[in-house]
Amino acid sequence: MTKQNGQGQSWCACFVSWLFAQANASKLVAAKVPAGFIYCPDGVAFFKKNNQILKDPTTCQPGDIVFFDWTGAGIADHVGVVTENHKTYFMTIEGNTSPEGATGSQSNGGGVYARKRYFGKTVHAIARPAYSTIPAK
């Protein structure tokens, strides 16, 4: 992994897991440990195992988890949470990315940003966590 912003570590998945922890919903992303996942392929495997991968990514909704494959290697290397779906593009909140329009790294940019993303070959998978399993307060 290339060092970017002096950190050299990927933490996008940690950010997504942290978001779910803030909502007392860690069990929805408990791919490797009860607190969630830190490696994108583990997250994808967890959601596949639980039949939570969307067949049609363009049907994503706020709260869905999107996995990206920036290198085209067929392996998820970045993750974020969908905040809006506009049918040809969607909005996300992502950790460890660069701001919109910046020339920095998409998957190791060192910040938390809202991003505009387009449906296409960089979308590896979109998962819909089992929100209905969380008791209402």
Which CATH number goes with the domain that contains 51?
3.90.1720
pLDDT recorded at residue 103:
67
pTM of the model: 0.89
Residue 6 lies in a domain: no
Give per-residue pLDDT as tens, 52-74.
999 999 999 999 999 999 999 99
Residue 136 lies in a domain: no
Residue 135 lies in a domain: no
Q: What pairs with residue 79 in β-bridges?
A: 67
Residue 113 lies in a domain: yes
| Highest mean pLDDT: which range of 31-35, 40-44, 110-114 | 40-44
The torsion angle over the Cα atoms of residues 36, 39, 41 and 46, rounded to 10 degrees, is -10
User: What is the number of domains present in the chain?
Assistant: 1
pLDDT recorded at residue 37:
93
Domain extent at residue 70: 12-130
Residue 2 lies in a domain: no
Residue 19 lies in a domain: yes
Residue 5 lies in a domain: no
117 confidence band (pLDDT: 50, 70, 90): very high
Please say if the pLDDT value at position 12 is more than 70.
Answer: yes
Q: What is the mean pLDDT of the chain?
A: 88
Residue 4 lies in a domain: no
Q: What is the DSSP string of 14-41?
A: HHHHHHHHHTT-GGGG-SSBTTB-SSHH
